[in-house]
Amino acid sequence: MNVWSYISKVWKGEIPFWRGSKVLWVIYFALITISLIEVYSASSMRAYGGYLWAPIIKHAGIIFISTLGVIIISHLSWEFISKIHLAFYGLALLALLMAMLFGVEANDAQRSFNLLGISVQPSEILKPAIVFLGAYIFGHEHKGTPRRSFYWFWGMVLVPTVFIFFESGSTAIILLCIAWMVCFVSNPIKKEFWRITGVVAIGGISLLLFVVFMPPSVLKPFGRATTWHSRIMGNSLGVPDSVYNALTEAEKDSAYYVIDGPNYQRKHAQIAISRGAISPLGVLPGNSTARDYLPEAHNDFIYAIIIEELGYLGAIAVPLLYLFFFFQLGVYARNTRNKQQQLLLYGIGLLYVFQAMLNMGVASDLFPLMGQTLPLISAGGSSFLFTAFSFGFVQAITARIREDRIQQKALQEELQSNSQDYSESSHE
């Protein structure tokens, strides 16, 4: 079937326009609706070039492009999707190379580059690319031994992760966690799996001890190691340890309520959450005060703004949407025997639920600042686009699983009917 005949069938209603799981479509539109409302609220006091509407118009444009991409991708055939796993990985490597050559500095690190006015972060492409890579390698183990597949996967993951590590240690750790989760759900060789887990754990602990116990003067030649040290070892006031230790308990208690310096964003996020706790429905959209003080209110700390404006309702509803998303993918994964499809569904589900937990943990002051967006809610460029595109791939897979089950059921009914007809004719 060519493209035009397919479009004609969609236009006539012979093929559903909203292809895939209806539950997942509801979750998608719920998330982007929250995104439009809260990003507008969080950005309403920020004007780009003196134009008040610029931030929300840009975000609405990205949502429109993303939704169009989701619809198009959801209509891709599984045969096509199964052939682009390595192309996705290649795109991530190309983006990483572009960032290294033409990267824009942000917080002393070249993490992104601009393409057609959109900020592209290689790590945001690499996250789903790792899932696709794992699905391809572990889904084709018949072409090689399981042990060989295992080491090929980790080798291809570590190559780009090493380069990202020197720019953003937290992002590199998150990428390794994603790879670990993909490997875990693929039912790998237990001996090899726990061996690599032990190596990564020992390496991580060694790095943590090095960053924690070495003075900043020693860490300075190692790029962002001083930033990691301050995030891990930073005291409640965000001041040097020598200054903090010289204060009396009364001075520490008094200074704790001073909102300044490194603890600026964290404190204003706490204020936003405390204001939202006043009422079950918060202060209602548009009435946030923290947005005027939080530089990343529309991005890293959007969950704090959601709690402030939507209260307990927003605090509970948003995590539930991500959990429903994961459970729905799990239902479809259990209904297919195709290992690649299973790995993609589980992997994408774990990826974005994990990312959402990290973002909400940062906003709630449970984790140090990691720069992770809230999937399909935070304002963003490549992060929003590739999260949405991953959603489109998920919808294409769920649609294929449903179609296969319908065909299988029809075939079983036909076989039962033929068997019954044969039985009746034999009795005659």
DSSP 114: E
Tokens of 57: 């118009």
Give the separation between CA 38 and CA 284, rounded to whole angstroms.
Answer: 10
- The pLDDT, as a whole number, for residue 71 is 94
Number of alpha carbons in the 13 Å side-chain half-sphere of residue 367: 16
148 within domain boundaries = no
150 within domain boundaries = no
Give the separation between CA 12 and CA 2, rounded to whole angstroms.
Answer: 16
193 within domain boundaries = no
Give the separation between CA 107 and CA 64, rounded to whole angstroms.
Answer: 29
26 within domain boundaries = yes
Exposure b/e, 376-396, CB count within 10 A at least 16 = b: bbbbbbbbbbbbbbbbbbbbb
> What is the layout of strands, in order, in the sheet containing 104-106?
104-106, 109-115, 118-120
361 near 348, Cβ under 8 Å? no
Domain span at residue 309 reads 15-75+260-402
Neighbours of 397 (CB within 10 A): 28
Give the pLDDT band of residue 426 (cuts 50, 70, 90).
low
pLDDT higher than threshold 80 for residue 194 = no
Q: Which of 250, 398, 382 is nearest to 331 (CA)?
A: 398
- The pLDDT, as a whole number, for residue 33 is 94
104 within domain boundaries = no
If one counts the domains in the chain, the total is 1
- Mean per-residue pLDDT, 79-101: 87
262 near 295, Cβ under 8 Å? no
Give the separation between CA 369 and CA 349, rounded to whole angstroms.
Answer: 23
121 near 91, Cβ under 8 Å? no
pLDDT-wise least confident of 207-216, 280-289, 333-342, 396-405 = 207-216
Each residue's pLDDT tens digit, 15-59: 888 888 999 999 999 999 999 988 888 775 555 555 667 778 888
Give the separation between CA 119 and CA 187, rounded to whole angstroms.
Answer: 36
- Which position has the higher pLDDT, 110 or 269? 269
Q: Which of 74, 411, 77 is nearest to 419 (CA)?
A: 411
pLDDT-wise least confident of 159-163, 195-199, 217-221, 367-371 = 217-221
Give the separation between CA 16 and CA 201, rounded to whole angstroms.
Answer: 47
DSSP 18: S
152 near 122, Cβ under 8 Å? no
Give the separation between CA 6 and CA 213, rounded to whole angstroms.
Answer: 62
Tokens of 254: 């008094």
Tokens of 148: 């060989």
Q: Which of 289, 275, 356 is nearest to 317 (CA)?
A: 356
109 within domain boundaries = no
Torsion-angle region of 378 (φ positive above 0: left; ψ -120 to 50: alpha; else: beta) = beta
- Mean per-residue pLDDT, 174-184: 87
8 within domain boundaries = no
pLDDT higher than threshold 60 for residue 249 = yes
Give the separation between CA 218 and CA 241, rounded to whole angstroms.
Answer: 16
Give the pLDDT band of residue 398 (cuts 50, 70, 90).
very high
Give the separation between CA 247 and CA 226, rounded to whole angstroms.
Answer: 23
pLDDT higher than threshold 90 for residue 289 = no
Torsion-angle region of 144 (φ positive above 0: left; ψ -120 to 50: alpha; else: beta) = beta
In terms of average pLDDT, the best of 183-197, 288-302, 376-390 is 376-390
309 near 318, Cβ under 8 Å? no
Give the separation between CA 293 and CA 301, rounded to whole angstroms.
Answer: 11
Residue 302 sits at the vertex; the CA angle it makes with 388 and 44, to the nearest 5 degrees, is 100
Each residue's pLDDT tens digit, 109-150: 556 777 777 778 888 899 999 999 999 888 875 555 677 888
Number of alpha carbons in the 13 Å side-chain half-sphere of residue 358: 22
